[in-house]
Amino acid sequence: MNVPALSVFAIAAIAVAGPAAADTLRAETSFNTGVQQKADPQPADGVAVTYPISYTGDLDGCTAQVAETLYPRDEGTWGIYEVAADVTCADGGFAFTSSGSWDEKGFHGAGRVTEGSGTGSYAGLSGRLAQSGGSAPAANDTMDLAYRIMIDRAP
């Protein structure tokens, strides 16, 4: 099992919210799975990793500390992921969780901003989120990952 390659798909689960001005918030991220560290403990039927990422778009300048668990199947040709993240921005922050799946065509996931987690400009933030993206093989048995997140802010 190639942990970095599988993590590329699971990372898509990262979803975040933004300033309280728009009905839909959109952001993007891209990174190499070489930044991932194995988490402790490891699940018996999967792989757990942690890593930092940064965003552009409506979350430009925000960073997230991500904890992700991947459940690869059929030698990694498809799988399921679960993500929890804490997002920090210059003007506040929030947390979210999401889950989804991946296959050879990419990954798709959905989740929610954690109720009550918003601080500063993100106080009171809530809503559903979606993420989608893909990956490409990179040097040293890693993957380059790029994905989009969309937050459907609750009214």
| Each residue's pLDDT tens digit, 42-60 | 999 999 999 999 999 999 9
Query: Domain of 81: which CATH number?
Result: 2.40.350.10
Residues 95-112, buried b or exposed e (16+ Cβ, 10 A)?
Answer: bbbbbbbbeeeebbbbbb
Cβ–Cβ under 8 Å, residues 28 and 55? yes
Q: Which domain holds residue 61?
A: 3-153
Quote the pLDDT of residue 48.
Answer: 98
- The reported pTM is 0.82
Q: How many domains are there within the chain?
A: 1
37 Cβ neighbours under 8 A, 6+ residues apart: 49, 50, 51
- Give the C-alpha distances (Å, rounded to integers) separating 71 from 6, 46, 68: 9, 4, 10
Average pLDDT of the chain is: 86
Tokens of 96: 């979210």
Check residue 22 and give its pLDDT: 53
